[in-house]
Structure formats: C-alpha cells, structure tokens
Amino acid sequence: MEEAAEALLGGLRLSHLAHLPVAGVGTGLDMDGESSGAAVRVSSSGVPEEAGRPRPGMDSPDNGPCEEDTTYHIPVLEEEVVAALSPAPGKLLMDGTLGGGGHTRRLLRAGAYVLALDQDPEALAWAARRLEEVADHLITIRSNFASFPTILEEAGLGPVLDGILLDLGVSSHQLDAAERGFSFMREGPLDMRMDPSAPICAADLVNGWPEEELARIFYEYGDEKASRRAAKAIVKRRAEKLFETTADLAAVVATVIPKRGPASPATRVFQALRIAVNDEMAVLESALESAHRWLKPGGRLAVITFHSLEDRLVKKYFRKHSDPEIDRPEWPAPRPNPECYYRLVTRKGITAGEEETRRNPRSRSATLRVVERLP
C-alpha cells in the first residue's frame, strides 16, 4: 500500500519535473513564476519507509494539534478534518488549498502521503519551509485546484486519492498582507489575486467593468442589498479619478452603504470583488464536478466554506450526488440516480465549537461538509 502511494508520488514528481525549466528535489523552494501547475517544490526521501515507522517530525499515533508558529494562518476545524479524512500510513490525500500548511501538516504527521496545491507562490514558499521536517511524503505544486485532474492525468494516474480537502478562500496571511489588496482595513493596491500572475485584478474590475456588472456581482457574490447604489457611486467616482487603493474604494462605498453592525460597510463589496477576481465559484464547481473520478471507493471529499454562497453550492452538489433516487412529479415512481457517486458523511455542516471560535474568530464562519465515494 505504502509503496504504491510512493510510486504514485514518484510518478507525479517526474511528470512535473519534466516540464520545469528550474526544479529541484529536496532543495528548498523552486519557483519559475508561471502559474498553472508549473512551479514545484518537491521533497524526496528516495527510499520508501516501512508502514507505520515514525519519521522525523512524525507524531505518536494520537497526533495532537501542532504547537508552533500560527501567525500565517490558524487551520480551522483541524480535528474535524483529521476525523473526516482519517490520514494514515499508505493513504494518498490531496490538499487543494495548502495555505500555511496547517491541515497538510496534520495529514503528514499521521503518516499519509499528501499532494498539496496552492495558486499562491508565497503560500507554497511558506508551507515548504514550515513542513520541511515532515515533507518526505509531500509533493507541492503551484496550481489552481480546478486543474488537479490535469496534474493527475499527466502523471498517468487514475482514481488514486483516499481523500481530498478544500479549505476555501484566502488565508489570514493573505488577508493581513496590505500589498495583496484583500482587506479594506489596510491601505494597499486594489489587487485581490490569489495567483499574482493572473491577468485580472480588482482594480481592472472596479475601474473597467460596466455598472450593471458591478451591481450584479455585489448582489450575487456579496449579497449586498445596496448593490446598485454602490456600483453607481463607483462609476461616478472613477469618471473623475480611477481607483487605486483599497482604502479609496472602501471610503467611496461607505458614502452610499450605511454601517449595519460592527462590520465595515465595504465588507460585502470586497468579498464580491475577491470572488469575481479569483473566479471562486466556477473553480469550486469545476473541482466538485471532477472529484468523484479521482477518489477511490471509500475515499472522502471534505470541503470547508466560509460564506453562504459557497456553502449552498457544496450542500446542493453533495445532496444531488448522494441521493440514490430521483423523483419528478411527472414520473409514476422514483428512478435510480445515475449520478449518485457519494454517501453523505455529514448530514448537517460541521461548525466550530465555542473554544475554537474564541481561540480563532475566523473559524466562526467555517462550515465543513464531507462525502464518501461509493464503490
């Protein structure tokens, strides 16, 4: 089992190294600046280890949470993710949203092999350093998680995954870094790209999109009731002077959207722009559509969402594909569902408990949903 997973990761490493102008094995971080699946940081143990044998940095079997630097990002629902994916020696898991590497670290410490993706080179660099001492069963690839089927296909692989984790949205570090332009609380350029080589940033939308398009995304992605008013104010202001900074945009939005509660009036507009810039709904849908083809029978898909739009999409998709029958009013009887791929593991979304929300306020809006691939 373990050897099979090692061979699979070996195949992945080789297929990615073959495409790289600069690449390294076990030599820190190698980046070539391209986006889709190009930059790879690979660590290699060379020799497969015996199942269950502890490696440096691997915990005792009970695997408690990591007590170390959490300034980059504190993983949410960590215990719940571990319980959902049951990482163990020989299992091959994919973390589509590596971020600060908190979840991946737990999976590696339990002895699993992890294929980890992130579209942000900064996250990959950070995680590579953080995971150095547990990285012998890890391969990290710079890629959008929507492209994971291409990565596996290029490596000549089929349904090999024992689990997939998607912990959506941005990390605390991305949010806190003023120069990334995600936050209305920090003055920075209007950027908001998770993948800094992506062609479109928030300034392009704010300064270039038609008023109706802006109003649409504020409404659809931000659930902003004053969407039209916000779009109108933006278009009026940009005719005089284009927007350059987050603070500038937040100030204009605040002139037309009343403050409701403790959140900034710009919260929903910023969320909508981030979702649009990173095409978040489309990439999530695409990853969900592909996942069943790459999971082994019994393999699990775990998704953590942070707002109702994402959660609705995941919930609906999971329901639709775990219902063994479809019923329509015009049919005399229900019929078998040809697209029933999963069993629902979580009937209700799992949310953070009191202790976690106190320790990590960001976990307040997290919902975890899990399904299991049917044979």
Ligand X SMILES: C[S@@+](CC[C@H](N)C(=O)[O-])C[C@H]1O[C@@H](n2cnc3c(N)ncnc32)[C@H](O)[C@@H]1O
What is the rounded CA–CA span in Å between residue 108 and residue 82? 11
- Looking at residue 46, what DSSP letter applies? S
Q: Which residue, chain included where needed, has tokens 């398009």?
A: 213
Q: Which residue, chain included where needed, has tokens 């079997």?
A: 61
Shortest distance, CB of residue 283 to ligand X, whole angstroms?
4
Burial of 22 by CB count in 10 Å (0-12 exposed, 13-18 middle, 19+ buried)? Answer: exposed
Shortest distance, CB of residue 141 to ligand X, whole angstroms?
10
Chosen residue from 43, 44, 97, 267 binding ligand X by CB under 6 A: 97
Chosen residue from 13, 16, 73, 369 binding ligand X by CB under 6 A: 73
Using rule CB under 6 A, residue 99 touches ligand X:
yes
Burial of 340 by CB count in 10 Å (0-12 exposed, 13-18 middle, 19+ buried)? Answer: middle
DSSP H stretches of helix in 279-325: 280-291, 308-320
CB nearer ligand X, residue 125 or residue 230: 125
What is the rounded CA–CA span in Å between residue 54 and residue 56? 7
CB nearer ligand X, residue 87 or residue 102: 102
Site string for ligand X, 145-184 (x = CB under 6 A): xx--------------------x-xxx-------------
Chosen residue from 144, 183, 246, 271 binding ligand X by CB under 6 A: 144
- How many CB atoms are located within 10 Å of the residue 286 CB? 17
Q: State which of positions 281-310 bind ligand X (CB under 6 A).
A: 283
Shortest distance, CB of residue 274 to ligand X, whole angstroms?
10
Shortest distance, CB of residue 188 to ligand X, whole angstroms?
16
What is the rounded CA–CA span in Å between residue 273 and residue 308? 16
Shortest distance, CB of residue 48 to ligand X, whole angstroms?
26
- Looking at residue 99, what DSSP letter applies? T
Number of residues that bind ligand X (CB under 6 A): 22
Is 232 within 8 Å of 304 (Cβ atoms)?
no
What is the rounded CA–CA span in Å between residue 96 and residue 114? 10
Is 117 within 8 Å of 10 (Cβ atoms)?
no
CB nearer ligand X, residue 17 or residue 198: 198
With contacts defined by CB under 6 A, name the span among 119-127, 243-251, 314-322, 339-347 that binds ligand X.
119-127
With contacts defined by CB under 6 A, name the span among 18-26, 38-46, 92-100, 207-215 that binds ligand X.
92-100
Using rule CB under 6 A, residue 87 touches ligand X:
no
Shortest distance, CB of residue 330 to ligand X, whole angstroms?
38
Q: What does the binding site for ligand X look like in residue numbers (CB under 6 A)? A: 73, 75, 97, 99-103, 117-120, 123, 144-146, 167, 169-171, 194, 283
